[in-house]
Amino acid sequence: MKFSCRLFDYTKIHHQGRRHQFTSLSRLDSNIKHTIPQQTQVRRRELRNNEEICWNSNNEFFQFTRGRFVINEKEQLSERHVRFDIKRLAQEAARSVGAKYCIDIQKCADGMFNKAYIFTLDNDKQVIGKVPNPNAGIPHYTTASEVATLDFMRNVLKTPAPEVYTWNSRKDKENNVGAEYIIMEKFDGIQLGRIWLSLDPSDKMKIFLQIFEYQRLWTEKRFNAFGSLYYRDDLEDSVCMPLADEKDDRINGLDRFAIGPATGREGSDAGRSALHCDRGPWNSLLDYRTAVGHREKLAIETGVYAPKQLAMLYGPGLYRPTQEKRIDAVQSYLRLVSVLLPSDQSLTSSHIWHDDLHSENIFVCPKNPTKIIGIIDWQSTQISPLFDHCMDPAFLDYDGSMIGDSLKRPELPENIKHLSKSEKNETIKEYLNKSVMVAWRMLVKNKNPSQYAAMMFENTTKGYLLLLSRRLHELGEPQFRALSLDLQKEWLESNVNVEQKFPLSFSPEQEIEINADRELSALSSEAMRSMQQRLGRIWPDKALAEHDDYQQLKTMLLQIKEELASELVKTPEERAEFEKFWPFD
């Protein structure tokens, strides 16, 4: 199929998505009386009238304050700094739920892509205000899609996403806040992460039974295109695919939704948000997955900013990435894509999904901690095939041995009585974690076969190649090229494809280079893992360090750097190369 790139200018979008306000009679009923202690009433009145209180002068509201970055800190902080009128945002928050004014603002711990605040209002209500950082994604689309997604998940798929009270996806003269924003419900619960480790296996089962039921509903809902979800009024016709035309959908109000440009992180991270490329929506899986390859190729060729990564350590004696190898990997993908895609309809249909179900994004009832009351962080949700989604919820936090399709129940080793106390505790921990994961997989296999089929496909050579293809601009080209070579051997050994020629061919010299890079990339991965193990608790996940750990971490990184240099560097030229590839500031 010939690729046709759909290019569009993000500035030429009309204004229907500019500002939206949702009201509820039950929420804004003026007859509801609030009993407030007199002392509190006086304090609130003083806060309202106190001209000394100026939230806009608190710079920490607008800066990233959660920690220090050890890679490109200046750039990292800049793309997480956003200035706006927080007093105006507080007024919008109060107005959205029928309050008169805001009495307090608390900033939540910084996320990597957004600022979030708790607004306490004069009617005893608290709401969440969310403002995207410059690195959050494509302007307008990221916010507009998130709002529509929250609405759809909450009201159509009956998933406990927060209710949106008001929002604005446009940063223009009509937006007096000066930034895109969403005002939404604050869940009166506790994060699952605070209690997960203390739960016994039966209570953990109750939690993931609820998650399973949500995911079963997500699996059942199939869309007619690939991209992200929006309200139809927020999209130009050129990038709008109506959700459906059936009479039932019009009656149920689903015709107000549409599928538009994809807002997944893979399309905006590492400078991709600046690319003028096909972002969808797409009618077919092949069109969507072909566009992924052209996007990565464009990112590599134009040299947009690619941040240093923490998966592999590059340099002399290790793997050395080049633009030529990355281009070769992308071109190989574009020749392979049609044979990589599965034929099973359950794997080729499009679905909406939450791809980051870690324990901090799930809220449970304080009085009944096995009951889920809310799921947050729906930004950048994409409508994709199941194999492009995260099938296992992240809160299970399993990083043990491969489980596979046998789903054999784990057993404690016979020599456990002879282990030391620490070894015994670690063994029991691994046993319990694997038991929970096996139970989860058995549930999915028996009750949601489409989801399970996606899990199994992800662990095939084709599945791994499709996974790597989405981030080739940043990393993964040695693994992709090696797996392409493996796939050729599988192809030739199989009797299924005897009449179809494999799309790629490799010269003996190319095979030697690819296999050498396979070994070097394994060394590079092991070098980074060893560094991570040595740093232990203070390892800077996502390049971020706690304030209290920053100086110690910098000292240890410098020490490790010199130790590695003494082992790997043999010449002044290699020292220069080592410095070039060293990821940390």
Q: What are 154-182's pLDDT values in tens digits?
A: 999 999 999 999 999 999 889 999 999 99
pTM of the entire predicted model:
0.89
pLDDT beyond 50 at 19 = no
Cα distance between residue 419 and residue 413, in whole Å:
10
pLDDT beyond 50 at 35 = no
**What are the percentages of helix, strand and coil residues in the chain, rounded to 5?**
50, 10, 40
According to DSSP, residue 474 is labeled T
Q: Give the number of other CB atoms < 10 A from CB of residue 506.
A: 16
Percent above pLDDT 90 for the chain = 77
According to DSSP, residue 499 is labeled T
Percent above pLDDT 70 for the chain = 89
**pLDDT category of residue 399 using cuts at 50, 70 and 90:** confident
pLDDT at residue 321 in the model: 94
pLDDT at residue 557 in the model: 98
pLDDT at residue 43 in the model: 38
Contact in structure between 119 and 105 (CB atoms under 8 Å): yes
| More confident call, 309 vs 551 | 551
Q: Using CA of residue 197, residue 200, residue 202, residue 203, what is the dihedral sign?
A: negative
Cα distance between residue 114 and residue 134, in whole Å:
9
Helices of type H across 417-475: 421-447, 449-458, 461-469
Q: Which amino acid is at 24?
A: S
Give one DSSP letter per residue of 340-390, joined into a string: HS---HHHHSBEE--S---TTSEEE-SSSTTSEEEE---TT--EE-GGGS-
Angle at 488 between CA 321 and CA 384, to 5 degrees: 70
pLDDT at residue 402 in the model: 84
pLDDT beyond 80 at 22 = no
Question: What stretch of H or E contains 168?
Answer: strand 164-168
Q: Give the number of other CB atoms < 10 A from CB of residue 2.
A: 4
Cα distance between residue 409 and residue 401, in whole Å:
13
**pLDDT category of residue 495 using cuts at 50, 70 and 90:** low
User: What domains, with CATH codes, occur in the chain?
Assistant: 15-186 (3.30.200.20), 262-517 (no CATH)
Cα distance between residue 166 and residue 374, in whole Å:
19
Question: What stretch of H or E contains 534?
Answer: helix 508-535
pLDDT in tens, 434-486: 998 999 999 999 999 999 999 999 999 999 999 999 999 999 999 999 999 99
**pLDDT category of residue 10 using cuts at 50, 70 and 90:** very low
What does the longest C-alpha to C-alpha distance in the chain come to?
85
Q: Helices 461-469 & 323-340, crossing angle to 10 degrees? A: 130
Cα distance between residue 24 and residue 484, in whole Å:
55
Cα distance between residue 305 and residue 135, in whole Å:
13
Cα distance between residue 274 and residue 267, in whole Å:
10
Give 328-332's long-range contacts (Cβ < 8 A, gap of 24+): 328/477, 328/481, 329/472, 329/476, 329/477, 329/480, 329/481, 329/484, 330/293, 330/296, 330/297, 330/300, 330/469, 330/472, 331/297, 332/480, 332/481, 332/484, 332/504
Give one DSSP letter per residue of 402-432, joined into a string: --TTT-PPP---TTGGGS-HHHHHHHHHHHH
